[in-house]
Amino acid sequence: MASYNKEQAAGDDLHNVVTIIMHEHGVGLTAALEHAAQMHAERARHALEDLWPAVRALRFSPAVDAALAFYAEGLMNWPRGNDSWTFESQRYFGTDGPRVQRERTVALYPKREAADPNK
């Protein structure tokens, strides 16, 4: 969702989940963001409450169990690491990332004019 603002300003948001939800469901930006947030919350709940306990209950051998636990914990930490990178890298929010992370509000960038391919 963080990429939506940057991509919509550049006119390159056709493959963004927010834009896809807007088109598929015929809704505006706010409803699309709410829908995406709901989808994310459900997937996070499923991963944490259903899948994670099932993976932790698997038993093979001590070596395989340790390797599986290490791998699964890495997979579970990946989204959080990506979330941190989104706000700290300045790619999507510039130097405003810490405020956006704290307040979860973003002012939409104005759309830029596409470059003339003939120049």
pLDDT (tens digit, 9 = 90+) per residue, 63-90?
999 999 999 999 989 999 999 999 999 9
Distance CA 96, CA 56 (A): 38
The pTM (predicted TM-score) of the whole model is 0.76
Distance CA 22, CA 25 (A): 6
Ranges in the chain, pLDDT < 70: 113-119
Distance CA 17, CA 47 (A): 20
CA-atom Rg of the chain in angstroms: 19
